[in-house]
Amino acid sequence: MNQFKQQRERMVARDLAGRGIHDEAVLDAFRAVPREEFVAEDYAHLAYQDSPLPIENGQTISQPYIVALMTEALELKPDDRVLEIGTGSGYAAAILAEIAQDVYTIERHKTLADTARSRLKKLGYNNVHVLQGDGTLGWPEQAPFDAIVVTAGGPDVPQNLKQQLAIGGRLVIPVGKSLQTQELLRVRRVSENETIEEDLGAVRFVPLVGEQGWADESAILPSK
């Protein structure tokens, strides 16, 4: 236990603060969330390496530095309501829940959604709400959101997600026409009909599969 806490502190200092993450609320969130609880036991000893790790359904828990970069880019405030697309292990949802008021998170794979839901509950994250479904459609019943983060890469910015942003809201999403690499975009809704887009750099994510994402996983991934 203590050993994980030490590793966590070291990761925050070396891989996050040391690589330019400044937001203290973000750094504190990473100091608080036990990443080892979000991976299979076999991977727990690797939990504080700054790298993605495999989870069920052929997906990955994202690299901590990238989660930090995206979380910082969301410019979260304590009373914000956040939507995450791609719950995966639930790790990023827990990070978001440390900073913001409520986190709504959508995962297309039932096994992952169910596992993340019970894991987050067990860890006491009562402000995280997990839904199984196609996140490219957003969560209209809970919109608008102050911040939306997509943790899988799609070909375009889903229109539904833009529409579910509050005025002043920020959407952070990896977008790329190829599956190999994406650009991390921040879309800021500045008025009813106006958004501003910034490119935050190249990243690599698993595919966003859905109505407003890639059509069919079997067509884009090597067969398993």
Q: Does residue 89 interact with ligand SAH by CB under 6 A?
A: yes
Q: Compute the least distance from the CB of residue 207 to ligand SAH, in Å.
A: 7
- Residue number, 71 or 146, with CB nearest to ligand SAH: 71
State which of residues 8, 12, 47, 59 lies at the interface with ligand SAH (CB under 6 A): 59
- Residue number, 64 or 169, with CB nearest to ligand SAH: 64
- Residue number, 140 or 168, with CB nearest to ligand SAH: 140
Q: Does residue 80 interact with ligand SAH by CB under 6 A?
A: no
**Catalytic annotation on 62?**
yes
Q: Alpha-carbon distance 8 to 95, whole Å?
A: 13
Binding mask 119-158 for ligand SAH (x = CB under 6 A): ---------------xxx--------------xx------
Catalytic residues: 62
